[in-house]
Structure 1
Amino acid sequence: MLQTTEFALLRRVAAEQAENRAPSLVAAVVRGGEVLWTGTRGQVDGAAPTIDTQYRIGSITKTFIAVMVLRLRDEGRLDLNDPLDKHVAGTPYGHLTIAQLLSHTGGLTSEAPGPWWERAPGGDWTAMLDQVDETVLKLRAGARFHYSNIGYATLGQLVAELRGTSWLDALNTEILAPLEMNRTTPMPTAPHALGWAVHPYADVLHPEPTPDSGALAPAGQLWSTATDLARWVRFIGGDTGGVLHPDTVDEMRAPAVVDDGAAWTVGYGLGFQLWRDSGRRFAGHTGSMPGFLATAVIDPATTTGALAFTNATAGVAITGLTFDLLKLVDDYEPALPAEWRPFSEVSGELLALTGSWFWGPMPFVLRLLDGGWVDLRPASGAGRGSRFRPTGVHEWVGLDGYYAGETLKLHHHDDGSVSHIDLATFIFTRTPYDPKAPIPGGVDDNGWRPGN
């Protein structure tokens, strides 16, 4: 990066560490599959931390759990609308769906009963269930967003039961090993930072415990490094390394619920926190455990992401810092548009579909995208439009917008030429109200006529 950009980034990190008294702080910026910049301040064991120093990442752990659940869904092992009871028996909230647990919309209590789990050693799944009854249901399922650590503990148990192994073994096999995230672990391994609480009125420290959280570990157990977490930021942006289909990651980034009412600046998808700022959308997650704060965020549209760790319980604006780093990079060195290149190959049959189509009298334009995808949307102004991915011969499925999940299908005349497009009963034809096509065409035999 430019020297001025690097200095601006380091200046922001240095100010956060000094002004908010962070024992140490590590940050990084990624773009397009590369780590563009890293910066550190403070000390760990008497020396500056490095990109290989482990910090506890807290609730960023939840994103790994969510990815393992979506892998099970993509394999056909579960449906997101399945009630929990179908896969994990014995809970008083078995009627909640997998999707509700993923998106924190099940109405479950935020914390498990008993001592504050983040500072106390945790028991196993059976021990946790022994403390749980119907009182953990605080809100009507689906009513609103209500963050729930116990919900993600349950999803970790779901992964364990369907895989026939621990969620940690599944994590190592399915995600960490393929992505070469070798320094992401359930307990710290040297070199790692110690967690500290900083006295509110004096520059002294109090050590924080880092116990094994047991059954609640899926909610916040993991430790990681800047190098490893930078790879995970890229994953959230869509660079999945074959661990999950990019379309599924895109599905996880879609807002399932909004956390701040009509403003819609903060929301949640299927395991990812979402932010909206100045017309841009960001995805990632924050994390906090006693002694540690962390944030990992990316703008999938530009592939620019950032992450930051500190080993302080509170007081450091780690999420604000992360977004400031993103803004600095975009201000000093905005991402260049992807270089335009023509298709490497194209079907003449698909090329013939491009151009104007009409739903009734309203003109639409169908454009051909790479890989046989198509885009159908109004020729001008706002309206219903979507991208479609091919799913078979002459069939596509909608990926976004009004037609997400709906099937676009071609219909043909006897001579093999395309007669019309059927999209969830909406009929698109080459001319307005084509009399040879199904409704809305063919209703009045007299067709178009002059006015009175």
Structure 2
Amino acid sequence: MTTSPDELLPATRRALLHRIAVAQAEGRAPSLVAAVVRDGRTVWHGSRSSVDGHAPDENVQYRIGSITKTFTAVLVLRLRDEGALDLGDPLEKHLPGTGAGEATIAELLAHTGGLAAESPAPWWERTPGSLRPELSDVLGERPLVHPVGRRHHYSNPGYTLLGALVEEVRGAPWEEVLRREVLEPLGLDRTGAQPRAPHAGGWAVHPWADALLPEPVEDLGRMAPAGQLWSTTGDLARFAAFLAEGDDRVLSADTVREMRTPAAPAEAAAVMDGATYGLGMQIQHRHQRLLVGHSGSLPGFLANLTISVADDVAAVVLANCTSGPLLGTVGADLVRIVAEAEPRIPEPWRPLREVDPSVLELAGQWYWGTHAYGLRVTADGRVSLGPLSGNGRSSRFRANGDGTWTGLEGYYHGELLRAVRRPDGSVSHLDLGSFVFTRQPYEDGAAVPGGVDPEGWRGIG
């Protein structure tokens, strides 16, 4: 008997079910539902307990809290990609008069704009949005609690400002823009600002008794871009696939990669946990793998979206309780279970379709000073440069079409690599952001900065 590569093995499926069963039982959640995504599609779905008398499926809505922020960030990045704004623009340029306008759009996306974590009392998550009809009601008299751009300080009002920015530039309500530009193109038909049956009710669980108390469901008004949305495991699974690979109808693969790139300094405690923040996405290291996504909570609900791009595995976990199961840990565990039990099968190696002699002659060993590096030409038309042993700076480079390449990651990200040729056309050396790589260490006659001692290499008697 053979198993389709699109299906998870029975042992893997049981391990996933066991993990969410433990989380639901020990976390005392009225219901908990989860999904796993691989290769862009849902490959497993599981749930525990019930909603309205039956086990929740992939179409039952839960409130997703701050995962809403990632949706808002997508809208802002769309404006940037269209040229309507620049991430370095101060907010004041596009949305004047807020009192927090010196923060840049990028700083607001990364929670480094210096804004307060919450709006003024009463607590916005458990009171009607009608209490905060204007941005001034959201920001209060003291919108900034830290110097702009100096530290990461998670801010819900910051994403209210970004939602208002979207409305100002688009000339339409945030929810309308979101549906037209993100939800409909991605087929997220069960995601929206208001619940639609079937949906879970939100509950508080007594800390010392197995008793429940219903939580109020409030329309957050101006705060909606920070946490209003309802969604399902089915829709969030599709959203996870988009955040991993991009979709040119919404955002390119390069732009979603930018969202997943650290953009905020980490707090000291977060450094210990390997956690930081990108542009609308949380970033952390767990189980020796890089995970991106976002968590969410509102009274009565918990949510988590976790993606390992390298493993091509994502997990969605939703529960209808104010506190209890640690869904971030559950999501990371679901990813780990699949990634370790059924590792990603690499694409088959294939040779270059065409060989460019001028590029092929660059392949092989090079030296930066006395450090040995290897340059490889890969089938995707790129080159890679990295140390032959030990740790060191390395990167892949994409061709620019003019005989130069641009670094794609690490220290050399954005830096230009070019082959410097002699008058006879032969290669003298590689220049990488002013670093000179030669075929021999400190090669005689090469353009090594500072020159090479004319007596060459020697011993000491």
TM-score by length of 1: 0.92
User: For the Cα contact (< 8 Å) 1:16–1:321, is it kept in 2?
Assistant: yes
Question: Matches of 1:298 and 1:360 in 2, distance apart?
Answer: 40
Q: Which moves more between the two structures, 186-195 or 392-401?
A: 392-401
Q: Tell me which of 34, 38, 50 is aligned to 1:43.
A: 50
CA distance 1:436–1:167, change in 2 (3 Å)? farther
User: For the Cα contact (< 8 Å) 1:179–1:241, is it kept in 2?
Assistant: no
User: For the Cα contact (< 8 Å) 1:33–1:239, is it kept in 2?
Assistant: no
Q: Tell me which of 277, 286, 307 is aligned to 1:298.
A: 307
Q: Tell me which of 354, 357, 363 is aligned to 1:354.
A: 363
**1:64 alignment partner in structure 2:** 71
TM-score by length of 2: 0.90
CA distance 1:374–1:159, change in 2 (3 Å)? farther
Following superposition, the deviation at residue 262 of structure 1 comes to 4.1
**1:127 alignment partner in structure 2:** 134
Following superposition, the deviation at residue 244 of structure 1 comes to 2.0
Question: Matches of 2:28 and 2:258 in 1, distance apart?
Answer: 39
Helix, strand or coil: the match of 1:138?
coil
Quick check: 1:373 aligned with 2:372? no
Q: What do the CA deviations read for 1:171-224 (whole angstroms, capped 9, x no partner)?
A: 223222222112111111121112122223333322222222122111111111
Following superposition, the deviation at residue 125 of structure 1 comes to 8.3
Question: Matches of 2:398 and 2:132 in 1, distance apart?
Answer: 41
Q: Tell me which of 341, 350, 369 is aligned to 1:341.
A: 350
**1:85 alignment partner in structure 2:** 92
CA distance 1:447–1:440, change in 2 (3 Å)? farther
Q: Between the two proteins, what is the percent identity of the paired residues?
A: 51
Q: What do the CA deviations read for 1:272-291 (whole angstroms, capped 9, x no partner)?
A: 11121232110011000111
Q: What do the CA deviations read for 1:367-422 (whole angstroms, capped 9, x no partner)?
A: 22343222112222222222222334122222211112222233333444443332
Whichever residue aligns with residue 228 of structure 2, its letter is: Q
**2:316 alignment partner in structure 1:** 307
1:316-327 to 2 correspondences below 5 Å: 316-327=325-336
CA distance 1:67–1:347, change in 2 (3 Å)? farther
Helix, strand or coil: the match of 1:177?
helix
Whichever residue aligns with residue 372 of structure 2, its letter is: P
Q: What do the CA deviations read for 1:214-268 (whole angstroms, capped 9, x no partner)?
A: 2211111111111110111222223546532222222222223324254242221
**2:4 alignment partner in structure 1:** none
CA distance 1:293–1:345, change in 2 (3 Å)? farther
Following superposition, the deviation at residue 126 of structure 1 comes to 6.3
**1:450 alignment partner in structure 2:** 458
**2:413 alignment partner in structure 1:** 404
CA distance 1:291–1:412, change in 2 (3 Å)? same
**2:164 alignment partner in structure 1:** 157
Q: Tell me which of 30, 37, 47 is aligned to 2:37.
A: 30
Following superposition, the deviation at residue 338 of structure 1 comes to 3.5
**1:278 alignment partner in structure 2:** 287
Whichever residue aligns with residue 359 of structure 1, its letter is: W
Helix, strand or coil: the match of 1:35?
strand
Following superposition, the deviation at residue 148 of structure 1 comes to 0.4
Following superposition, the deviation at residue 139 of structure 1 comes to 1.6
RMSD: 2.4
Q: Which moves more between the two structures, 292-301 or 410-419?
A: 410-419
Question: Matches of 1:157 and 1:436 in 2, distance apart?
Answer: 61
CA distance 1:52–1:422, change in 2 (3 Å)? same
Question: Matches of 1:348 and 1:221 in 2, distance apart?
Answer: 57
Helix, strand or coil: the match of 1:37?
strand
Helix, strand or coil: the match of 1:380?
coil
Q: Which moves more between the two structures, 252-261 or 89-98?
A: 252-261
1:185-204 to 2 correspondences below 5 Å: 185-204=192-211
Q: What do the CA deviations read for 1:396-450 (whole angstroms, capped 9, x no partner)?
A: 2222111122222333334444433322211223343455554427x24836243
Question: Matches of 2:206 and 2:355 in 1, distance apart?
Answer: 65
**2:149 alignment partner in structure 1:** 142
CA distance 1:181–1:360, change in 2 (3 Å)? same
Following superposition, the deviation at residue 134 of structure 1 comes to 5.4
Question: Matches of 1:83 and 1:104 in 2, distance apart?
Answer: 14
Question: Matches of 1:284 and 1:447 in 2, distance apart?
Answer: 58
Question: Matches of 1:97 and 1:130 in 2, distance apart?
Answer: 21
Q: Tell me which of 392, 402, 406 is aligned to 1:393.
A: 402
Question: Matches of 2:311 and 2:287 in 1, distance apart?
Answer: 14
Question: Matches of 2:70 and 2:120 in 1, distance apart?
Answer: 23
Helix, strand or coil: the match of 1:319?
helix
**1:174 alignment partner in structure 2:** 181
Quick check: 1:328 aligned with 2:308? no
Question: Matches of 1:361 and 1:171 in 2, distance apart?
Answer: 54
Give unmatched runs, 5+ long, in structure 1: none
Helix, strand or coil: the match of 1:282?
strand
